[in-house]
A and B are shown apart, each in its own frame.
Chain A
Amino acid sequence: MALWIQISPGSDKPIYAQIVEQISEAIAKNELAAGDRLPAVRKLAAELVINPNTVARAYSVLEQAKLVTTKTGSGTFVSDPRLHSRDAADINMLAERMDTLITRGLNLGLEAGDLDAMFRDRTNKFVSKHKSEEKKR
């Protein structure tokens, strides 16, 4: 499994945030499965030509979000979602993000029903991909 991370320094999003986003997405799409090892900080830094501290920061943020766990000496691994519990704060954050998306959608002129359908459609795509990957294993 190849991990393709692209960063663009001229973006309004800080580099570490871009890495966090791409790895989070990869985990959500099951391109990175539980137990998979993320590239070593130095290796990724050398490949992306960025400061290793930036990679370390991204991994730290992912760890705080409980998406990955670091085992000193071995590396950073994708967490098993079944092993960590969701707490109220996580759910709150998710709700807030949903609010942002809903606001945007409504501002674009979409109806509540359209938004709903869009959301369902995309969730299904994710889940079906997840299921097909699971079957392959």
Chain B
Amino acid sequence: MIDEIVLETQGLTKYYGNVLAVDHIDLKIPRGCICGFVGRNAAGKTTAIKLMLGLLNPTAGSSKLLGCDSTALTPAIRQRIGYVTEGHRLFGWMSIVELERFQRAFFPEQWDGKFFAEMIEYFGLRRKQKVKHLSNGQRAQVSLALALSPNPELLIMDDPTLGLDAAIRRQFLSGMIEIIMREGRTILFSSHILGDVERVADRIVVIDKGVIRADCKLEQFRTAVKKVILAFEDSVPLQVDIDGLLHCGRSENELALILVGAGDDKIAELAKSTGAERYHIVNMNLEDQFIEYTAPTSRGKLFRWEEI
């Protein structure tokens, strides 16, 4: 059975003058996927998202949402897509109830007023409050409620938990889980917080300096990125060659290798062939894996790995 692809990019590229922000991005997000879009600061996450939503024009390549080209998204398609902007920017002068009325006008049949009211109550907000009097966290909550109430098929969120305190972030994620439970809903969210990604996402896309470095299931990424310490009695070899070697760090009598996709047997083989006295596979958490994966390579070559 072929999964329906709801978000697709082909060679998507964006230059700002001479600066390359997004470099030939190829993505295929299937329906029902919860995709965590991670990258360091200024990696190109927001640019990529804006390109997908037709807010920026690509220098090259193309992007499609729900089968429709991003530069020509029809009103009917936009109606099926929810978007939470970076920083949760809303009109300061509007009150929550006015915002609801405004947003509701664009979703005459699909707006779930009851759900919106429940979310506002759950977050402890008052309907007459003006947006400019809300804190960042409260604005994020309103933003989420506005994006979820039309029950979108595809939800795109740009760093939705940035700047939120732990409690509000947890509430926000609860809201996301709520939508995950609904059949056929797809979410793409960019984040710095790997913990959130690990909780909620089942797919991870790593973007680094505008390039997609990984695009696979989260559990595949977790099992694939490994740190191996080889301990040597005497001299430490200068060259180590193994498929999937990302970094190689050297200390007195140890080599620390970051490997991607290397099986335990290959590692054992390597230890043997390099004459290591013993070796140790270090368990890493997702944040460590991400940091090692996106660290500048010692070999000057940008490693790209993906698994479908």
Contacts and interface: CB of A to CB of B under 8 A. Distances in A.
Asked whether the complex places CB atoms of A and B closer than 8 A, the reply is yes
Interface of A: 9-16, 42, 45-46, 49-54, 57
A10 B181 contact: no
* Chain B contact patch, size range: 20 to 34
A50 B177 CA distance: 7
Interface in B137-190: 170, 173-174, 177-178, 180-181
Contacts of B174: 46, 49
B170 A13 contact: no
**Majority SS at the chain B contact face:** helix
B284 interface: yes
B199 interface: yes
Contact of B177 (A13, A51, A57): A51
B34 interface: yes
Contacts of B180: 51-52
A130 B298 CA distance: 55
A14 B201 CA distance: 13
Contact of A51 (B170, B202, B284, B288): B202
Contacts of A45: 177, 181
Given A51-B202, A53-B202, A12 B283 contact: yes
B285 A51 contact: no
Contacts of B202: 51, 53-54
A15 B200 CA distance: 11
Interface string B280-306: 000111111000000000000000000
A54 B173 CA distance: 15
Contacts of B86: none
B177 A11 contact: no
Contacts, number: 52
Nearest to A53: B202
A14 B181 contact: no
A45 B202 CA distance: 13
Contacts of A11: 285
Interface string B175-215: 00110110000000000001110111110000000000000
B200 A51 contact: yes
Contacts of A42: 181
A9 B181 contact: no
B199 A15 contact: yes
B219 A14 contact: yes
Contacts of B195: 9-10
Contact of A52 (B181, B222, B286, B288): B181
Given A42-B181, A49-B174, A10 B283 contact: no
A24 B288 CA distance: 27
Contacts of A14: 198, 219, 222
A94 B288 CA distance: 30
Given A10-B195, A15-B199, A51 B34 contact: yes
Contacts of A10: 194-195, 285-287
A132 B180 CA distance: 42
Contacts of B287: 10
B81 to A, nearest CB: 21
A53 B196 CA distance: 15
Interface string B258-286: 00000000000000000000000001111
A14 B217 CA distance: 13
Given A46-B181, A52-B181, 11 more contacts: A9-B199, A9-B286, A10-B194, A10-B195, A10-B285, A12-B284, A12-B285, A45-B181, A51-B177, A54-B202, A57-B219
A16 B286 CA distance: 14
B284 A50 contact: no
B133 to A, nearest CB: 28
